[in-house]
Amino acid sequence: MTETKKILHKSCRLQSTEKEVQQTITELLSALAEYGFDEDSIFAIHLALEEAFLNAIKHGNHNDSEKTIEVECLLTPEKFDISISDEGFGFDPDGIPDPRCNGNLYKASGRGILLIQSYMDVVEYNSRGNCVHMIKYRNTNGPRQPQKVC
């Protein structure tokens, strides 16, 4: 008899607070370990989740704890697939300056999107720019190098 592969689907609405987000991240990282994702993949996903949720709280919902963050997650033995949406007006991801270029190197912020793109295998935004969709496949090696745009 063949073993049926488990699929975890999680759909939830979180308050736009760090406490609520951290609980969700902890649950997701625990599930990744149960599914046999290696330490490097879990680190990469953890970093991407922290950045994406922080962007939703800070830039999307403007630190308004009355607003919410929608999470849609699918975890299989082959991949981790998540969408994170905020209530903000959105943004144009192509309009964000590359933090590796010119004077941006010395700015204290602006690296979150680059980190997400470096550590996840797929990163997409909806047309409005208030939802990020990320995928990390189980058998990929380390961070990718996003193309330099300056």
Instruction: Answer yes or no: is 2 within a domain.
Output: no
- Report pLDDT for 142: 56
Query: Residue 79: which CATH number?
Result: 3.30.565.10
Secondary structure, 3-state, the chain: CCCCCCCEEEEEEEECCHHHHHHHHHHHHHHHHHCCCCHHHHHHHHHHHHHHHHHHHHHHCCCCCCCEEEEEEEECCCEEEEEEECCCCCCCHHHCCCCCCHHHHHCCCCCHHHHHHHHCCEEEECCCCCEEEEEEECCCCCCCCCCCCC
- Report pLDDT for 104: 62
Among 99, 81, 90, which Cα is nearest to 130's?
A: 90
Report field, pTM of the whole predicted structure over 0.85? yes
Tell me which residue range forms the domain holding 127.
Answer: 8-137
Instruction: Answer yes or no: is 71 within a domain.
Output: yes
Which stretches of the chain drop beneath a pLDDT of 50? 1-3
Instruction: Answer yes or no: is 70 within a domain.
Output: yes
Instruction: Answer yes or no: is 145 within a domain.
Output: no
Instruction: Answer yes or no: is 144 within a domain.
Output: no
Query: Total structural domains in the chain?
Result: 1
Q: What are the pLDDT digits (tens) for 27-52?
A: 999 999 999 999 999 999 999 999 99
